[in-house]
Amino acid sequence: MSRRYVNQLSNGDTVDEAFLVSDKQLRANRQGNLYLHLELRDRTGSVGARLWNATEELARSFEPGDYLLARGKTQIFQGSLQVILSHIEILDPARVEPEDFLPQSTQNIGRLYNRLRDVLLGMQDPHLRALVECFLIDEEFVAKFTAAPAGIKNHHAYQGGLLEHVVSMLNVADRILGLYPDVDRDLLLTGIFLHDVGKVAELSYDRAFAYTDEGQLVGHLVMGVEMLRDKVERTADLTGEPFPNELLLRLKHMIVSHHGALEYGSPKLPMTLEAIALHYLDNLDAKLHAFGREIRDDPSRESAWTPFQQSMGRRLFKGTPRNAPEPDDD
Amino acid sequence: MSRRYVNQLSNGDTVDEAFLVSDKQLRANRQGNLYLHLELRDRTGSVGARLWNATEELARSFEPGDYLLARGKTQIFQGSLQVILSHIEILDPARVEPEDFLPQSTQNIGRLYNRLRDVLLGMQDPHLRALVECFLIDEEFVAKFTAAPAGIKNHHAYQGGLLEHVVSMLNVADRILGLYPDVDRDLLLTGIFLHDVGKVAELSYDRAFAYTDEGQLVGHLVMGVEMLRDKVERTADLTGEPFPNELLLRLKHMIVSHHGALEYGSPKLPMTLEAIALHYLDNLDAKLHAFGREIRDDPSRESAWTPFQQSMGRRLFKGTPRNAPEPDDD
Amino acid sequence: MSRRYVNQLSNGDTVDEAFLVSDKQLRANRQGNLYLHLELRDRTGSVGARLWNATEELARSFEPGDYLLARGKTQIFQGSLQVILSHIEILDPARVEPEDFLPQSTQNIGRLYNRLRDVLLGMQDPHLRALVECFLIDEEFVAKFTAAPAGIKNHHAYQGGLLEHVVSMLNVADRILGLYPDVDRDLLLTGIFLHDVGKVAELSYDRAFAYTDEGQLVGHLVMGVEMLRDKVERTADLTGEPFPNELLLRLKHMIVSHHGALEYGSPKLPMTLEAIALHYLDNLDAKLHAFGREIRDDPSRESAWTPFQQSMGRRLFKGTPRNAPEPDDD
Amino acid sequence: MSRRYVNQLSNGDTVDEAFLVSDKQLRANRQGNLYLHLELRDRTGSVGARLWNATEELARSFEPGDYLLARGKTQIFQGSLQVILSHIEILDPARVEPEDFLPQSTQNIGRLYNRLRDVLLGMQDPHLRALVECFLIDEEFVAKFTAAPAGIKNHHAYQGGLLEHVVSMLNVADRILGLYPDVDRDLLLTGIFLHDVGKVAELSYDRAFAYTDEGQLVGHLVMGVEMLRDKVERTADLTGEPFPNELLLRLKHMIVSHHGALEYGSPKLPMTLEAIALHYLDNLDAKLHAFGREIRDDPSRESAWTPFQQSMGRRLFKGTPRNAPEPDDD
Amino acid sequence: MSRRYVNQLSNGDTVDEAFLVSDKQLRANRQGNLYLHLELRDRTGSVGARLWNATEELARSFEPGDYLLARGKTQIFQGSLQVILSHIEILDPARVEPEDFLPQSTQNIGRLYNRLRDVLLGMQDPHLRALVECFLIDEEFVAKFTAAPAGIKNHHAYQGGLLEHVVSMLNVADRILGLYPDVDRDLLLTGIFLHDVGKVAELSYDRAFAYTDEGQLVGHLVMGVEMLRDKVERTADLTGEPFPNELLLRLKHMIVSHHGALEYGSPKLPMTLEAIALHYLDNLDAKLHAFGREIRDDPSRESAWTPFQQSMGRRLFKGTPRNAPEPDDD
Amino acid sequence: MSRRYVNQLSNGDTVDEAFLVSDKQLRANRQGNLYLHLELRDRTGSVGARLWNATEELARSFEPGDYLLARGKTQIFQGSLQVILSHIEILDPARVEPEDFLPQSTQNIGRLYNRLRDVLLGMQDPHLRALVECFLIDEEFVAKFTAAPAGIKNHHAYQGGLLEHVVSMLNVADRILGLYPDVDRDLLLTGIFLHDVGKVAELSYDRAFAYTDEGQLVGHLVMGVEMLRDKVERTADLTGEPFPNELLLRLKHMIVSHHGALEYGSPKLPMTLEAIALHYLDNLDAKLHAFGREIRDDPSRESAWTPFQQSMGRRLFKGTPRNAPEPDDD
């Protein structure tokens, strides 16, 4: 039987579900009695919860990142829903479906991945195609690449988000490359595939989304170059020739320059046609995705504007929505 | 008979052609003899020229912007070609073809314009379609819009460049809008048409490319909003209804925000999906065009790099060119 | 009988007054009982209020922006005064004086407006004088211009603030123009009048101060240019001649450049004497007004410094005030 | 008999005048013959000069900063006037009028200084008036203060320019202080007097304008504070009381903060009303002066624009000048 | 008997100690009963405290900055320790040891000061040595210099911190000067001594750390130059010669430029070898100190990272600490 | 027999030496006769040269980067020395000593390298020592590392400059590490060794100093991380254990963050003690070296200031030099 998700709860509901604990605090009220304040989440969102009359022993028995079976009742507190808990119970992670507890792409991962394969393995250049193959025959890599989010907060911040972002960019590139004949098709497509590849190890995304130590200390641009080097060394097994040096330089350059400016963390400015195209296609897709989501998800019906978005430095205008057609099917 | 253009001259050639004078200086050599130093141009480029033993009378008889019949011989001086003139003669502008003297789009203007009409008049929204019609039935406007460059130095800096840039963006948008269903198709297409429309009056481009006084004092963003207002007032004649207010706001917003940041001269940041899409499509097209031209036109065969581009803050990597397919035909 | 204003309330007072509701939240306390948390304001400030044991029906019966008759008693809660309500009642807006509920200029609006007329209609230039007349015979415009604040938070943020700011700048210009003979007197005076004219539609100020949609999407610089264009077209009726083109350019330029730098939202830098004068006179008046108000209104007697002012990026030094003379009467 | 100044020379003139040498180079032509290339200046400008067939002995016999009697004839070379010298002779500085060789204020220094005295000695505050007196009874200081330029390149870059700038600001302040009653009159007037006082030692201006070592290493803001301290210690002799500490802090603060922002070299932002007023009045006067001079002095009649001004980051619009009234007489 | 310090308190402890009051608020709970919320501190940290059923009289009887004898019991509230007070009593400042209530250097002040003397009085240059002597024979100065913190929040923010910072920099300079023979040893050592000398009056540090009025209005760079001038005037008594002018300029320059960039509050960039060395040694010592303290003091054992440090704009990586040797003894 | 170097030439000398051609232009004089303008260099500097009556054949027979035997005579032209050539002859590169033609370190490379070995191989940590060994047993690497400059223009821009910079930093670190016990000695020493290691391939320095394609497209930070990875894989052969992961992260982090800020090309800010120490020690050494060289090499004796240094954004104060001790010998 399918669970009731956080985004389906309303005031006065009875709750009896598994949740991922994303925050835990033991507090005392004014009378000195201890209570637990928890944040419980599943893949659709999070909700605050309180367990009155808690003990230190109970509080020590689990940590954020653990799963709990939580029973209780919802109510509104200071304008937000919370769960007043009557009972909690630590769950064996083996008994839950991890994908229930992290935000997920709404698209079909398998279809996205097939589309990625089709576009990339259809390239003419034997070296670039061999390079992509070296990535795609690495099952551990593919498992991570199809599970990773594209970020922890901004655009595509859900499992499968990285794949969704890359496939969306490949689709755009596939459609417009014919209009820009100076741009090398296979180079741009490979650059799109690789530009954020370092994120599979920059982020951790099996329970909650976070940066790994390596992600914070080194970053996905440099990590992506390292991953590229590892695979490039193996393409000769497929092609019988060494990977062309200039082609490798152009790929590394696309990875390190794709943020487009030093102050955004790229140590080099884009200096090739494919690098500049990659930079703008990446921004176009990421920003349209992030803006679209903010506008669609904004719950308020009273204002034509979203709240101020710190990371964008602005509010977005929702206005009166105009009618939208169905998306294409690539 | 077709003329010999500046880009066809080489060392030791005899010259007998009409040119546009783009600079004129009367100088004295060390012996005190006067000579004229001129810059002569046609649509393919410019060349320095000297006339020894000139007089003040001759120097006063014409100004930059006039046409001259120039006879003489080319030679190399300090690494550049120059013309040593034996005879000059002022020409009646009515006797020259102005288009021989300004850089031109290499594309067919008529076909570009038809493509523009097809895309824009195929829109569903009656108000936006009527707005476009109000522009396109204004013959003076159309004459300017199809003649204007998109800039005086950077991308698309030639007659017809504005039209070429807008049609290229329309083609891109047409192909990718299906991938972004949240973006309002007709609004984005109209925004692409209007975003640089102020340039038809910001720049002057009948003889040499320059900013008009209004262009420098007010700028094409504000001028574009004014032009939009003029036409919007007339759409009711075609639709029988007033132009919807929010639609007008969204169009004005796209025009004023399309530079994407305050420091680039937009008084507002993009705050709608269509405004953000416009901003990135504009940059993508302009930068690919400008980078591509720098790389293609760089004459040096000895270096894999273009010279440093001041306006881009970088050199571009030419490397070893890879094979490019034919452009699509939209 | 005059009302008791928010700034006259103290701990333990009985309240029985009309207020503007500026915020409303329905909350539940720990026992699950609902209560209303309101923010009530009049033109002197705002105060929090609670109504215990509220119902959803009551909460739905009014919205922020409505007027309430509120009865209850004040008390201190967490260092701030709040009203514990015993009774509320929705009021017909027709029964209240709107000016009781928005901050007001402390100066006489009529006298300010007469001063504006005297200075502007005393100009020599027939076209500029006619332009001003076209604005001043537009009664709807004058009603807005004399009611608008100059901003929603910073300087002159009260009804009549825009007029007060403009008249103060006119007075300064009137006194110093004789010292700068290169500056065109009539042009500067007209530029002062017009520089913020777009604010009459950029802001809404009949109940609470806010940005309009157009204000946020387009901004008062561009809106001011549009308003100028509308009026300029009518000056020929008064002067019998078309408005001189260069004069119009200079006015538009003053409006779009008056923020003085691209990063402050001006798409053009000031490039005329009058534009640069306008920029500094605007800053001088706005900053002296804002600084003066912060220093005068700071309630603390214990510190020689105001609190940190986010929008100014600094604290202000109050020190020991020195004796100040009476203001002039212009 | 008055000299013929550099700005009065034209092509083919005979020259026989004293000049200040501002640059000197000994060069060889292609045949290996030595010639001298000099820059000669007087207070109206500078002109290049050549002496063919020079010797090293002659070249060593004088240095930039010396005065020469120069005889020869003018001609145009590469678009500029130059003097072909037939004879040069070193002059004893005692035989020239130094004021003929440095740019001068066009205003009467004595009248400006009297105006300064009148305004400042008319202040009410006994301590501030005593402070000003301590400066004005220091004859060496007054000699420098009335001779110094306000800068070496930008605004008021001529002898007497500093005094002219300060008196102009005093006149503005005097006229508008009545409109801003919160601003302490005497404090602002004294701050205007002192804000650039360090320039009397930051710059050298007896022969050519330059920065002193101390000017470059320490700067006029810090040097001004030091000069203020020296004089403050002596006010007690006049007033019989120590100078009030807070008053001294406010004066120092005005000096160090008057550039208005850290990136313009002020280590502190303006934090008092008088400091903020000083900052804007300084900019208003300096910029109006610099802009006005650029526009008035621009020799070109063909363009409505000045050349690009590097230090202002823009060109200025001259347009068609409108009629200007006579300046006031303060 | 030694006190129990704030950093020794844990949940459920009985408290009966003197504290410095650093914040005081009188609040009402929902029933309208008043209570006091205090912040109590000693040199090891601060703790919140509440006294239920307080009166306005009691609240008015003391202010922040006063010492209280506080009795009560600790408990955890919202994750932090607080003291529930049963009794408070105002203490005569004469009865407490002030050094118990401000953070202190953990190093021996006497030894640090001796090291400072040894290094500085061992300099060769008679003028610089005399200058240092003029500072060190000023007992009031030495008392302040050895008590002042180097800042109120960032690095070395405790009593004796300024001395500790300066001695640490002297030790570094002493060790590396031999490697940079172009750097003038005595000039750099004196510059290190003087660079922050203005902090002794920029900050107040007898009870709580704060900026003085002069510190905020003028700043320690300018104040340091003033202090230098005062002492320089007296060196002639020791050396029998005036202090060399260029030497004084170089010292002033080091003080005003040591922040290294205009946007960090230095009105001049470093333009001598000693000034550039001073700038980097200052940053090296301050940042190593601040980073080291953040890493060492971070209480969390669960994360390899410190919390985000606002003033540094980053989190710091603690990782798994590696073994560290004993510090040298200079 | 040793050559006569460029810095030993003076006016009127006879020249008969080998030079590296660093620039070549074929020009025509006013009579249309062709001549060659060359720039000839050796390791001490460069000099212009002209060969009158040249032919196109001669001009095509060699390129910049070739060596020429050049005979002629020096003379002064426009204030600079040039060589009037009578004869040129292309030289076989095998017949010249390349080190005669590139700027060289003035220090003994062998001694510097021994010092590097001593410091690094004396580290305690077996993994870091093994890592260094893996670099130092790679003879090709060592040959490059000891030959590379540290930059092409700024500090240490000569052969051996990279080694000299690294050894200087090691010496500084060695001396001061005892003062900062929290800093991990071996980690900092290894970070110093590795921070610019990518420069051995970012730059080319066998004939003239330039960036390689990879250097411009990828940069020495990313290239250094790649080189580190290659060597790290081999340390297990020496230690019998895998290289610790966190240690590797810390090293990569030091390399990518050592420029200290995003706008200087570091994709990450320093977030460990060793990374922040590396950043400041690098700047200290590079800036002291560059400032010292500018001051020492400035030929002018007339000014106390160097010319404006574009890359530093300032002039440097030379003043009157004070006496400097002998450098230490490490």
Residues of A in contact with B320 (CB under 8 A): 246
Q: Which of C99, C131, C91, C100 is nearest to C227 (CA)?
A: C131
Backbone angles phi, psi at C221, to 5 degrees: -65, -55
Instruction: Give the pLDDT band (50/70/90) at residue F215.
Output: very high
List, for residues A190-245, the tens digit of each pLDDT value.
999 999 999 999 999 887 788 999 999 999 999 999 999 999 999 999 999 999 99
Q: What is the pLDDT of residue F31?
A: 58
Question: pLDDT, tens digit, for every residue of A278-290?
Answer: 999 999 999 999 9
d(CA C54, CA C63): 15
Residue of chain F whose alpha carbon sits nearest to that of A264: F262
Interval A297-312 mean pLDDT:
78
Q: What is the per-residue pLDDT across B115-138, written as a single tens digit (0 to 9) for each? A: 999 999 999 999 999 999 999 999
pLDDT over 70 at E78, yes or no: no
Q: Are F211 and F221 in contact (CB under 8 A)?
A: no
* CB-side neighbour CA atoms (13 Å) of B210: 11
Does the pLDDT value for residue F1 go beyond 50?
no
- Chain B interface residues (partner F, CB cutoff 8 A): 75-79, 304-305, 315, 317, 319
Please state which of the ranges A294-308, F188-202, F222-236 shows the lowest mean pLDDT.
Answer: A294-308
Chain length of chain D: 330
Q: What is the mean pLDDT of residues A163-177?
A: 98
Residues of E in contact with D264 (CB under 8 A): 262
Q: What is the DSSP annotation of F257-310? A: HTT-SGGGT-SS---SHHHHHHHHHHHHHHHHHHHHHHHHH---SS-SBPPPBT
3-class secondary-structure state, position F116: helix
How many whole angstroms from its chain centre is CA F110?
16
Chain C residues touching B249 at Cβ < 8 A: 213-214, 217-218
Query: In b/e form, how buried is each residue of F263-282, taking b as 16+ CB within 10 angstroms?
Result: eebbbbbbbbbbbbbbbbbb
Q: Who's near C190: CB < 8 A, 6+ residues apart? A: C120, C123, C128, C131, C132, C251
pLDDT for residue D330 is more than 60: no
Cα(D263)–Cα(C313) distance, rounded to whole angstroms? Answer: 14
Tens digits of per-residue pLDDT, C29-75? 655 577 888 989 888 878 889 998 887 778 878 887 789 999 999 98
Dist. CA E56–CA C11, nearest whole Å: 12
Count of C-beta atoms within a 10 Å radius of residue C173: 22
Identify the pLDDT of residue F301: 64
Q: Name the helix (H) or strand (E) containing C141.
A: helix C139-147
Please state, in angstroms and rounded to a whole number, the distance separating the CA atoms of residues D80 and D6.
13
Which of A169-178, C94-103, D25-34, E164-173 is predicted least confidently? D25-34
Averaged pLDDT of chain B: 89
> For E155-208, what is each residue's pLDDT tens digit?
788 889 999 999 999 999 999 999 999 999 999 999 999 999 999 999 998 877
Query: Is there an interface between A and F (3+ Cβ pairs < 8 A)?
Result: yes
In chain B, beta strands by DSSP E? 14-28, 34-42, 45-52, 67-77, 80-91, 203-204, 210-211
CA distance D274 to D254: 7
Per-residue model confidence as pLDDT tens digits over C69-93: 999 999 877 556 889 999 999 998 8
Give the chain F residue nearest D32 (alpha carbons).
F75
> Is there contact between D and A if contact means ≥3 C-beta pairs under 8 Å?
no
CA dist A33 and A51 (Å) reads 11
pTM over 0.90: no
Question: First CA to last CA across chain D, in angstroms?
Answer: 33
Burial class of D153 by CB neighbour count within 10 A (0 to 12, 13 to 18, 19+): exposed
Tokens of C35: 């209560």
In the chain, the amino acid numbered E120 is: L
Contact call for residues C40 and C22 (beta carbons, < 8 A): yes
Residue with tokens 């020009």: F27
pLDDT of residue B128: 98
CB contact under 8 A, C249 and B218: yes
Position C197, amino acid: V
Closest partner residue to E32 (CB to CB) among C75, C315, C317 is C75
- How far is F258 from F270, CA to CA, in rounded Å? 7
> In this complex, do C269 and D313 lie within 8 Å of one another by their Cβ atoms?
yes
Given an 8 Å threshold on Cβ–Cβ distance, is B295 in contact with A316?
A: no
Question: Measuring CA to CA, which residue among C117, C126, C122 is closest to residue C243?
Answer: C126
Cross-strand partners of B237: none
Q: How many C-beta atoms lie closer than 10 Å to residue D21's C-beta?
A: 20
At residue F282 the predicted structure's pLDDT band, cuts being 50, 70 and 90, is: very high
In whole angstroms, give the CA distance from residue B164 to residue A66: 59
| Alpha carbons within 13 A on the beta-carbon side of A71 | 6
- In 3D space, the residue among A298, A294, A315 whose CA is nearest the CA of residue C210 turns out to be A315
| Residue A216 with chain E: CB contacts under 8 Å | 305, 315, 317
Q: What is the CA radius of gyration of chain D?
A: 23
pLDDT tops 90 at residue F300: no
Q: Do D28 and F76 touch (CB under 8 A)?
A: yes
- For D147-156, the pLDDT digits (tens) are 999 988 777 8
- Quote the CA–CA distance of A31 and A276 in Å, as a whole number: 63
CB-based contact E50:E87 (threshold 8 Å):
no
Structure tokens at C224: 């001011």
CB A43 within 8 Å of CB A5: yes
CB D171 within 8 A of CB D182: no
Strand partners, D159: D104
Best of D211, D227, D268 to disrupt the E interface (most E CBs within 10 Å) is D268
Min mean pLDDT across A246-255, B236-245, C298-307, D276-285 is at C298-307
B228/B222 Cα distance (integer angstroms): 10
H or E element, residue A269: none
The pLDDT value recorded for residue D1 is 46
Upper half-sphere CA count for residue A250 (Cβ side, 13 Å): 31
Q: Are C103 and C43 in contact (CB under 8 A)?
A: yes
Quick one: average pLDDT of F71-78?
83
Q: Which two tokens stand for residue D54?
A: 């020079």
Q: Looking at the predicted structure, is the pLDDT value of residue D251 above 80?
A: yes
Tell me the CA distances in angstroms from F173 to A76, E175, F163, F169, F290, one per residue in order.
60, 10, 15, 6, 19
Q: Kind of pairing, strands F34-42 and F14-28? A: antiparallel
Separation of CA A291 from chain center: 15
Here the tokens at position C226 are 């549009």
- CB distance C26–A76 less than 8 Å? yes
| pLDDT band with cut points at 50, 70 and 90 for residue A270 | very high
For residue D141, pLDDT over 60 is answered with yes
Mean pLDDT of chain E: 89
Name the least confident of B222-236, B251-265, D140-154, D290-304: D290-304
Average pLDDT (F263-270) is: 96
What span, in angstroms and rounded, lies between the C-alpha atoms of B281 and B294?
20
Residue of F nearest to E323 (CA): F184
pLDDT in tens, C221-251: 999 999 999 999 999 999 999 999 999 999 9
User: Would the pLDDT of A182 be above 70?
Assistant: yes
pLDDT mean over B80-94: 88
Query: Among residues B94, B41, B100, which one has the least CA distance to residue B70?
Result: B41
Neighbour-count burial of A38, counting CB atoms closer than 10 A to its CB (0-12 exposed, 13-18 middle, 19+ buried) = buried
Nearest CB neighbour to C263, from listed B226, B246, B262? B262
Compare B54 and D291 and report the one with higher pLDDT. D291
- Spatial CA neighbour of A263 closest among F261, B312, E263, F260: F261
Q: Average pLDDT in the C271-283 region?
A: 98
| pLDDT beyond 80 at D183 | yes
User: For residue E330, what pLDDT band results from cuts at 50, 70 and 90?
Assistant: low
- Residues B253/B258/B263/B265 CA torsion (nearest 10 deg): -70
Phi, psi (5° rounding) for residue F180?
-125, 80
Q: What is the ipTM of this complex?
A: 0.83
- Catalogue the E-assigned strands of chain E: 14-28, 34-42, 45-52, 67-77, 80-91, 203-204, 210-211
Residue F59 φ then ψ, to 5°: -60, -35
Quote the tokens at residue E129. Answer: 């040595």
Residues 6+ apart with CB under 8 A from F275: F191, F250, F253, F254, F257, F258
Which H, E and C letters describe A275-318, residue by residue?
Answer: HHHHHHHHHHHHHHHHHHHHHHHCCCCCCCECCCECCCCECCEC
Using CB atoms, which chains have 3+ pairs under 8 A with D? B, C, E, F
pLDDT digits (tens, 9 = 90+) for B40-56: 988 887 888 999 888 77
Rounded to an integer, what distance in angstroms lies between the CA atom of residue E309 and that of residue C136?
A: 55
Which single residue is written with the structure tokens 């009529």?
C110
pLDDT tens string E1-27: 468 888 888 888 999 999 988 888 877
Q: To 5 degrees, how large is the angle CA B24–CA B27–CA B30?
A: 160
Backbone angles phi, psi at A38, to 5 degrees: -120, 155
CA B75-B78-B83 angle, to 5 degrees, is 30
Residue D315: how many CA atoms within 13 Å on its side-chain side? 15
Cα–Cα distance for residue pair A74/A12, rounded to 1 Å: 5
Pairing of strands A45-52, A80-91: parallel
Which structure tokens are listed for C24? 């409303």
